[in-house]
Structure 1
Amino acid sequence: MTQKVAFLFLGETLLIPHLYPIVEALVAIAPDLPVDLWVSTSMHETLLSAWVRDAGMTTVRIRRAPGFRSLVGYADGRNPPLPAKLPMLFRLAPYLARTAVVVCAEQTSLWLPATLPLRTRFIDTFHGAGSMMARGHWRRRAGWRTLVAAERDRGALIAGGDDPARIVTTGYVKAAFRQRTPPARLFEDAKPVIFYNPHWQAHRSSWWRWGPETVERILADGRFNLIFAPHQRLVERAPALRAFVAGLAGRDGIHCDLDSFAMVDGSYTAAADLYLGDTSSQVVEYLTRPRPCVFLNARDADWRNDGSYAMWEAGEVVDTLSALMPTIEQASTVHPEYTAFQQRFAQEALGDVSGLAPDRAAREVIAALRR
């Protein structure tokens, strides 16, 4: 087995900011260590190659996974159509078997150590944050280490049966991501900006029942600018979404994004004056700088008795569409009532956001090599 490390960039672009800062930190700590970045599409290849080249990372190689897709028109970083993950992983297994440590940011890749007799040590770093986090899956326990942002996440996994020695708190890796989309002026005026960010899973999302009407009511009101950038997987579950967005073309006061890398790199959470959504973990990133929030209870959730909706204590909750605009109007006025909770919630959910998390994660990789 070769003393080298592999990072798996095989999935959606939303995973990249949770993984790439660890690559940078690892190279800084161990500049002579060979590192392979396995990619599934030419979009990943183009994006990562530019960053590696610009940083002068001579020990890092970009490698095409079996089943690699060469795509036209995705060089800007928008989410690409992906090859089937499991066939790609199992074709990749012989290469990874000759690698000492593999780092991934999703559970699917853990099918390999869960089902094959590999000596390779897999390290899984959580992506996303907040009360909707996955509580663990049996295949996650096949990894050598699971890296989580905050002690709350660690406690949840341990309570679910994970070995405490396997769960390591690093802080929020994405907070150190430096390759964000450059700020651009999205709107011609200085109206307050609402960021509407519905979840992609129907049982957690406001989109199917209230989404289009929510957008229309905000635009008809005319006092706000709107960034409509849902979870990037929503379009998979709601194919009519593209036609809806196309119908908004040319209208003032709205910026729609279903594809670009800005959807996942933190650009929109930084630009917003008010967060409007349901259960997406992006609200937690938004709350690293406390600002008004409004949550849409489109599915009549009994949210006060459900820990999965803990984030809804960070702002006003709308139970009927008729209350949408009045609630948005008063959000800034009532915001001081929620500031203390927002600060506490973000700290509990994300842990350390100082930028040191990738270094802690990289040191776990080094520890795996030494074992």
Structure 2
Amino acid sequence: MTRPGARGKVAFLFLGETLLIPHLYPIVEALAATSDVPIELWVSTSVHETLLTRWTAPFPTVRIRRAPGFSVVADDGSGRNPVLPAKIPILLRLLPYLRSATIVVCAEQTSLWLPRLFPMRAKFVKTSHGVGSMSARDDPRRRAAALTLVPSELERLTYLDRGFAPERFVATGYVKADFTHRTHAAPPFADTRPVVLYTPHWQQHRSSWWRWGAEVVRRIVADGRYNLIFAPHQRLVERAPEVADLMREIGDLAHVHCDIDGFAMVDGSYTGVADVYLGDTSSQVIEFLMRPRPCVFLNAGGAVWEGDPNYVMWGCGEVVEEVADVVAAVDRAALMHAEYVKIQVEFAGQSLGAVEGGAARAAGEILRLLEATPAR
């Protein structure tokens, strides 16, 4: 099945948080389904190994390998985000093993330290995880990638405006949209109350959590007319351990579903089943808007956001300036949604690009790079 000239081995790095998996794994499936190129998946924990072993069973060209420093952790098979071994030591110890690869694919920037600091024959391909106006695009490690796959042409142009080489950036569409291993296909509640998804960002300067978060949650819970999915970014609890305390306080309520480390937080389950998005600057809102629905944004930091391109997503719904207005804004969201549908469709389309076939296009770009790379 391999196209003429496409010789060599492709390595994928699954060394980071589980949130990276749905952005990277669809490319593995697409590459394995359309070629006979040998594929190695390097994993850092037994959680990664369990998930990928289950999913790759139909693909004989895929081999799962334990990275040096591999960690065996408590694992119930559901994909809960594990405590990770330190990534830099893993990367340094992995370096000799990657010499046999022609292409190395990653979904995070830390792995790009290898081609930035060491002479390597392998060409690195960086695929995006998350999109949005606040993505960190100026990191010098990005220039070490031979090819960067981004969702949309708009995203690609932001890099070209920074002087990156055009031939090194390709818009493929939103790869995560092709991820097929979701945890939940329906809301995790016994009744049909509208579902509000609250997903505060993990970085304090971008987040509503530190100023408003607990009060936002308590107001919605006390109101009682909504089912609440409280599923913040996986890394928030590292910086705000009180998140776990609040989850223990409310987690047994029938109309509350809390998730602090489950795979459903990152596999598209919650953005798929929610009726209203409630958040701040998380790129999850863009994923939510693959299907236009009501949004409410929390300006907990008092940002002067109108006209600021970093907050362009806030044009997709009402922006709350006072925490006391949160429940009323959620009430209004469905009634006001017609005012925002056109804006949402345009914003999501520009940010995500195509929402079907992104993984296949990404696999095609990897094969083209493989064909252009001289055999060893």
Partner of 2:15: 10
Where 1:305 maps in the other structure, the secondary structure is coil
What is the rounded CA distance, in whole Å, between the counterparts of 2:240 and 2:136 in structure 1?
23
Deviates more, 1:194-203 or 1:233-242: 233-242
Alignment of structure 1 residues 14-33 onto 2, 5 Å: 14-30=19-35, 32-33=36-37
Q: CA deviation at 1:305?
A: 3.2
Contact 2:128 2:149 in 1 (8 A): yes
Where 1:343 maps in the other structure, the secondary structure is helix
Partner of 2:71: 69
What is the rounded CA distance, in whole Å, between the counterparts of 2:124 and 2:189 in structure 1?
44
Partner of 1:59: 61
Note the residue ranges of structure 2 that are not aligned, 5 or more in a row: 1-6
Aligned residue identity for 1:189: D
Q: Deviations over 1:2-56 (max 9, x none)?
A: 81110000001111011111011111221x2111000000000000000011xx2
What is the rounded CA distance, in whole Å, between the counterparts of 1:110 and 1:57 in structure 2?
27
Q: CA deviation at 1:250?
A: 2.1
Cα–Cα, structure 1 residues 143 and 79, in superposed 2: closer, same or farther, change >3 Å? same
Partner of 2:157: 155
Contact 2:197 2:228 in 1 (8 A): yes
What is the rounded CA distance, in whole Å, between the counterparts of 1:345 and 1:28 in structure 2?
32
Alignment of structure 1 residues 246-285 onto 2, 5 Å: 246-285=248-287
Dislocated runs of 4+, deviation >3 Å: none
What is the rounded CA distance, in whole Å, between the counterparts of 1:180 and 1:188 in structure 2?
19
Alignment of structure 1 residues 217-296 onto 2, 5 Å: 217-296=219-298
Q: Deviations over 1:344-368 (max 9, x none)?
A: 00000000002x1111111111122
Partner of 1:166: 168
Contact 2:33 2:59 in 1 (8 A): no
Where 2:149 maps in the other structure, the secondary structure is strand
Where 1:208 maps in the other structure, the secondary structure is helix
1:307 to 297, 306, 309: 309
Contact 2:186 2:273 in 1 (8 A): no
What is the rounded CA distance, in whole Å, between the counterparts of 1:109 and 1:161 in structure 2?
22
What is the rounded CA distance, in whole Å, between the counterparts of 2:365 and 2:186 in structure 1?
37
Q: CA deviation at 1:188?
A: 2.1
Q: How many residues align?
A: 366
Aligned residue identity for 1:306: D
Q: CA deviation at 1:88?
A: 0.5
Contact 1:106 1:124 in 2 (8 A): yes
Please tell me whether residue 349 in structure 1 is matched to residue 351 in structure 2. yes
What is the rounded CA distance, in whole Å, between the counterparts of 1:185 and 1:319 in structure 2?
29
Deviates more, 1:255-264 or 1:74-83: 74-83
What is the rounded CA distance, in whole Å, between the counterparts of 1:137 and 1:74 in structure 2?
36
Contact 1:74 1:80 in 2 (8 A): no
Percent identity of paired positions between Structure 1 and Structure 2: 58
Where 1:304 maps in the other structure, the secondary structure is coil
TM-score using structure 1 length: 0.97
Where 1:250 maps in the other structure, the secondary structure is coil
Partner of 2:42: 38
Where 1:3 maps in the other structure, the secondary structure is coil
Contact 2:11 2:39 in 1 (8 A): yes
Alignment of structure 1 residues 326-341 onto 2, 5 Å: 326-341=328-343
What is the rounded CA distance, in whole Å, between the counterparts of 2:228 and 2:324 in structure 1?
19
Contact 1:297 1:318 in 2 (8 A): yes
Partner of 1:191: 193
Where 1:97 maps in the other structure, the secondary structure is helix
Where 1:189 maps in the other structure, the secondary structure is coil
Where 2:314 maps in the other structure, the secondary structure is helix
Where 2:250 maps in the other structure, the secondary structure is coil
Contact 1:191 1:225 in 2 (8 A): yes
Cα–Cα, structure 1 residues 224 and 182, in superposed 2: closer, same or farther, change >3 Å? closer
Where 2:75 maps in the other structure, the secondary structure is coil
Partner of 2:51: 47
What is the rounded CA distance, in whole Å, between the counterparts of 1:242 and 1:361 in structure 2?
37
Cα–Cα, structure 1 residues 139 and 185, in superposed 2: closer, same or farther, change >3 Å? closer
Aligned residue identity for 1:138: P
What is the rounded CA distance, in whole Å, between the counterparts of 1:179 and 1:189 in structure 2?
24
What is the rounded CA distance, in whole Å, between the counterparts of 2:188 and 2:370 in structure 1?
46
Note the residue ranges of structure 1 that are not aligned, 5 or more in a row: none
1:114 to 113, 116, 130: 116
Aligned residue identity for 2:278: L
Q: CA deviation at 1:294?
A: 0.3
What is the rounded CA distance, in whole Å, between the counterparts of 2:270 and 2:247 in structure 1?
17
Q: CA deviation at 1:185?
A: 4.9
Where 1:136 maps in the other structure, the secondary structure is coil
Q: Deviations over 1:117-158 (max 9, x none)?
A: 001100000110122222232111111100000011101011
Contact 2:10 2:40 in 1 (8 A): yes
Contact 1:171 1:352 in 2 (8 A): yes
Q: Deviations over 1:261-292 (max 9, x none)?
A: 00001110111110000011110011111111
The CA RMSD over aligned residues, in Å, is: 1.1
Aligned residue identity for 1:280: S
Contact 1:22 1:362 in 2 (8 A): yes
Q: Deviations over 1:213-272 (max 9, x none)?
A: 001101111111100001111111111211221111322311000111000011101111
